[in-house]
Amino acid sequence: MKQINKGLLGLIGAAMLLSACNITVTPAPNGGGSSVTLNAVTSYNSEYTLRTSVKDQNNKTLAAGTNVICDDRNTQLQVGVSWTGGLQRIGISFKGVQTGQTTKQRIFGDRYSSPDYSGNGLATITIGSEVAPLKVSSGLSAQSIIPTPINTTYVRGYTYVQAIGEDQNGNVSNVVESVTAIPVVNCS
């Protein structure tokens, strides 16, 4: 008579025991991540625009009417975002073009009363000096920003607008970034 390996016999017994159980495994949405996926930053509009054309430190011309972030005062910025799934709230951060550094703080708005499945909307944020976000409005809105033309004395640099979503369970989505950067200027 052949001798059976005790470890193999234990594995067979465990397999038989598990096969007798009625277990259902349901994968989490998006492979365990968030049930919302951001598709793109679709737009951004600032409360400040350039009154006249100016040249930056690299001799690049910025046309009159260009949206800007004022580095020396609070700036209200409206960010358009598109998504798939149920968006519970949105967060905004910024990434410097030259340095590649992202703002340390990602600011999330208030939670919506229920997830938004519309697929696109606008988030309004207020940015303090030094491109540090102070506040994100509570929810998405269709309210538009009325631009105020400003003069500028110096273009400090450029920053990309980044957005991230959060689903109803608190799981965060992927990060999306604006295709173009917004100038950061000293306003006067």
What is the per-residue pLDDT across 21-71, written as a single tens digit (0 to 9) for each?
333 322 333 444 679 999 999 999 999 999 999 998 889 999 999 999 998
Predicted confidence band at 85 (pLDDT cuts at 50, 70, 90)?
very high
pLDDT of residue 98: 83
- Single-letter residue type at 119: G
d(CA 79, CA 123): 5
Average pLDDT, the chain: 77
CB within 8 Å of 127: residues ≥ 6 apart: 69, 74, 75, 76, 77, 94, 133, 134
For residue 20, pLDDT beyond 70: no
pLDDT of residue 150: 85
Distance of CA 47 to the CA centre of its chain: 20
Residue 2 CB-density burial (10 A; 0-12 exposed, 13-18 middle, 19+ buried): exposed
pLDDT of residue 82: 95
Q: Are strands 132-140 and 120-128 parallel, antiparallel or unpaired?
A: antiparallel
pLDDT of residue 101: 82
pLDDT of residue 149: 84
pLDDT of residue 9: 41
pLDDT tens-digit profile of 124-137?
Answer: 888 877 654 434 44
d(CA 44, CA 67): 8
Write out the DSSP string of 142-187: -PPP--EEE-EEEEEEEEEEEEEEE-TTS-EEEEEE-SSPEEEEEE
pLDDT of residue 17: 35
Predicted confidence band at 180 (pLDDT cuts at 50, 70, 90)?
very high
The encoded tokens of residue 180 equal: 């173009």
Q: Which of 144, 30, 28, 124 shows the shortest CA–CA distance to 83?
A: 30
pLDDT of residue 33: 65
d(CA 45, CA 24): 48
pTM of the model as a whole = 0.73
For residue 184, pLDDT beyond 60: yes
